[in-house]
């Protein structure tokens, strides 16, 4: 009621002003911005192809589905280029893939109220209707984005052949090859004689696989020489007939929410539980002291008191750092077989990155009674390996872009800005926070549709800078944030 009183008083006051000030001029209407025509400066977009991996395909929320594909950054570009762009659309908005009726990839993630959850946990079971044996679409396709593809996969014959699946073929690539199953993604692009191309995320999966497996050795980083060979083949092939194009560099992926959401000290404990856990680690802690006492005599300096303290496990009431396996710690068994039973445990620090996949383990004793294995953690040494590879790949990308005169898109700068406070997009403010940030989708790695629109604008602005077009200044030359969602409803079918 108080609010209504204040509103009435405000209206009364406004009425008094209008009566007493008969010469009062109303506020002028906001002037519309003058129309600015698009000038492409002679760029021929008539045969536009896009080669890349997950971001190119429009992968979001841990899946590929129609709505996400329609908001892929290349498809957004094609609307600004005013050109036809054929994509290998999935059969539904559930996501997932099947082979001869047997599911091989699960449907997408949705928001479950407090975080990402599988779609079927919200709406019940669904039929994954996109089947790489029963209903592949026909090409040729302008969008040649293959989720999961590494640099050398894009030039590999047979990567899209059903006969090579699952050993040496990608199910998403199988949907692209049509009647030419042994052609590489590069060959499928080149045979369309493109006049303009984009090349994105080349090398992303070469590093991402290492990162999302915690650097456990199961998915090593591709050597720079191998990456350079594939990159050169791709760019030379796409530019052979004089096509113009744009290439994106790689962000340092450890800024993504997959690696930053779970805190290193994510375990709350009461005093009794902390004491119980300490009792469980008492023998381990005692073994460290025994090993130090013996090895300081036999091998001075190889096992220091500083490392003993670092490896000692201690829980207290309140927030606690998780226990992890760190292969970079001294292997005591190699120094003396008598200490083979002492594992390479320590508690995490703020310098460690705990992967999003560990979040389901923590409520069940993971990181406390059971240490997190290397699969769920990126140590500082592993993070440095990622940074070194990213820098090397990006140097190669910058060099070949300069040598070929094609546009270079600094995607790394966007992610850095988003992870260090946020990046603006029209009236939106995007960060890398999971669920709430607006840039990164529910899988913690891939972009939201609004994020892909921001990425598309970065390509358009780089094209302007290199080729003299004016997408950045033209009326409706850039994508608008409000036209692209940050999440999709579970009811989307």
In a 3-state reduction of DSSP, which class is residue 332?
A: helix
What pLDDT was estimated at residue 31? 67
pLDDT band at residue 190 using 50, 70 and 90 as cut-offs: very high
Q: Please report, rounded to a whole number, the percentage of residues in the chain having pLDDT higher than 70.
A: 94
Is the pLDDT at 263 greater than 50? The verdict is yes
The yes-or-no verdict on residue 180 having pLDDT over 70 is yes
436 CB-contact burial (10 Å; exposed 0-12 / middle 13-18 / buried 19+):
exposed
Burial status of residue 475 (CB atoms within 10 A of its CB: 0-12, 13-18, 19 or more): exposed
Query: Residue 319: in which H helix or E strand, if any?
Result: strand 318-320
Over residues 319-335, the pLDDT tens digits come to 999 999 999 999 999 99
**What would the mean pLDDT of 232-260 be, rounded to a whole number?**
97
The reported pLDDT for the residue numbered 24 is 43
Question: What is the model's pLDDT at position 119?
Answer: 98
* Residues 367, 490: Cα–Cα separation, whole Å: 32
Cα 175 to chain centroid, rounded: 22
CB neighbours of 457 closer than 8 A, spacing ≥ 6? 425, 478, 479
Kind and range of the H or E run holding 282: helix 282-298
Domain-wise residue ranges, the chain: 48-260+381-483, 267-347
pLDDT score of 37 more than 70? yes
Residue 473: the pLDDT is: 98
Please say if the pLDDT value at position 57 is more than 50: yes
Residue 75's SS3 state is helix
**CATH code of the domain occupying 48-260+381-483:** 3.40.50.1110
Query: Does position 30 have pLDDT exceeding 70, yes or no?
Result: no
Q: Report DSSP state, residue 32.
A: P
Task: Report pLDDT for 367.
Answer: 97
Interhelix angle 224-239/380-404, nearest 10 degrees:
30
Q: Is the pLDDT of residue 345 over 90?
A: yes
Burial code (b: 16+ CB inside 10 Å, e: under 16) for 23-54 equals: eeeeeeeeeeeeeeebebeebebeebbbbbbb
Is the pLDDT at 475 greater than 90? The verdict is yes
Specify the pLDDT at position 300.
Answer: 82
What pLDDT shows up at residue 297?
Answer: 85
485 vs 123, 454, 472, CA distance in Å?
Answer: 20, 12, 21
| Residue indicated by tokens 């406004």 | 14
Average pLDDT (345-373) is 97
Contacts of 207 (CB under 8 A, 6+ apart): 221, 222, 250, 253, 386, 389, 390, 393
Q: How many CB atoms lie within 10 A of CB 146?
A: 29
Please state the rounded mean pLDDT for residues 436-442: 97
Task: State which H helix or E strand residue 366 sits in.
Answer: none
Q: Using CA atoms, how far apart are residues 428 and 276, in angstroms rounded to an integer?
A: 48
Residue 240 pLDDT greater than 80, yes or no: yes
Which pLDDT tens digit goes with each residue over 12-24? 333 333 333 434 4
Q: Considering only 110-114, 130-134, 166-170, 297-301, which range has the smallest mean pLDDT? A: 297-301
Query: CB–CB of 155/187 below 8 Å?
Result: no
CA 93 to chain centre: 20
């Amino acid at each position: 009621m108080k609010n209504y009183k204040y509103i009435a008083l405000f209206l009364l006051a406004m009425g008094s002003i209008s009566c007493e000030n008969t010469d009062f001029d109303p506020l002028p209407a906001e002037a519309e911005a003058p129309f600015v025509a698009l000038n492409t400066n002679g760029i021929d977009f008539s045969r536009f192809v896009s080669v890349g991996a997950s971001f190119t395909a429009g992968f979001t929320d841990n899946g590929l589905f129609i709505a996400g594909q329609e908001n892929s950054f290349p498809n957004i570009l094609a609307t600004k280029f005013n050109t036809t762009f054929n994509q290998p659309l999935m059969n539904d908005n559930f996501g997932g893939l099947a082979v001869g009726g047997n599911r091989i990839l699960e449907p997408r993630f949705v928001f479950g109220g407090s975080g990402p959850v599988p779609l079927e946990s919200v709406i019940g079971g669904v039929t994954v209707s996109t089947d790489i044996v029963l209903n592949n679409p026909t090409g040729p396709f302008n969008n040649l984005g293959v989720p999961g593809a590494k640099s050398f996969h894009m030039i590999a014959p047979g990567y899209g052949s059903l006969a090579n699946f699952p050993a040496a073929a990608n199910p998403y690539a199988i949907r692209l090859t049509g009647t030419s199953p042994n052609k590489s993604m590069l060959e499928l692009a080149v045979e369309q004689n493109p006049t303009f191309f984009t090349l994105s995320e080349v090398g992303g999966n070469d590093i991402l696989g290492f990162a999302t497996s915690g650097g456990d050795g199961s998915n090593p980083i591709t050597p720079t020489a191998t990456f350079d060979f594939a990159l050169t083949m791709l760019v030379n092939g796409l530019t052979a007939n004089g096509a113009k194009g744009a290439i994106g560099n790689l962000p340092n992926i450890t800024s993504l929410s997959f690696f930053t959401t779970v805190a290193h000290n994510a375990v709350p404990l009461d005093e009794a539980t902390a004491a119980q856990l300490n009792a469980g680690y008492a023998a381990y802690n005692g073994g460290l002291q025994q090993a130090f006492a013996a090895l300081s005599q036999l091998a001075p300096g190889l096992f220091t008191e500083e490392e003993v303290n670092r490896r000692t496990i201690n829980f207290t009431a309140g927030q606690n750092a998780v226990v992890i396996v760190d292969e970079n710690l001294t292997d005591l068994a190699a120094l003396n077989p008598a200490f083979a039973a002492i594992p390479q445990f320590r508690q995490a620090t703020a310098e460690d990155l705990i992967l999003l996949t560990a979040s389901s383990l923590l409520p069940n004793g993971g990181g406390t009674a059971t240490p997190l294995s290397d699969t769920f953690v990126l140590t500082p040494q592993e993070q440095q390996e990622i940074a070194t590879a990213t820098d090397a790949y990006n140097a190669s990308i910058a060099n070949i872009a300069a040598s070929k005169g094609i546009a270079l898109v600094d995607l790394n700068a966007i992610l850095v800005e988003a992870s260090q406070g946020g990046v603006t997009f029209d009236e939106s403010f995007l960060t890398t926070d999971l669920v709430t940030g607006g840039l990164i989708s529910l899988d913690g790695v891939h972009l939201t549709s609004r994020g892909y629109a921001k990425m598309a604008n970065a390509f358009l602005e780089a094209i302007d800078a290199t080729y003299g077009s004016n997408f950045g200044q033209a009326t409706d030359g850039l994508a608008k944030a409000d036209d692209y969602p940050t999440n999709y409803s579970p009811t989307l079918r």
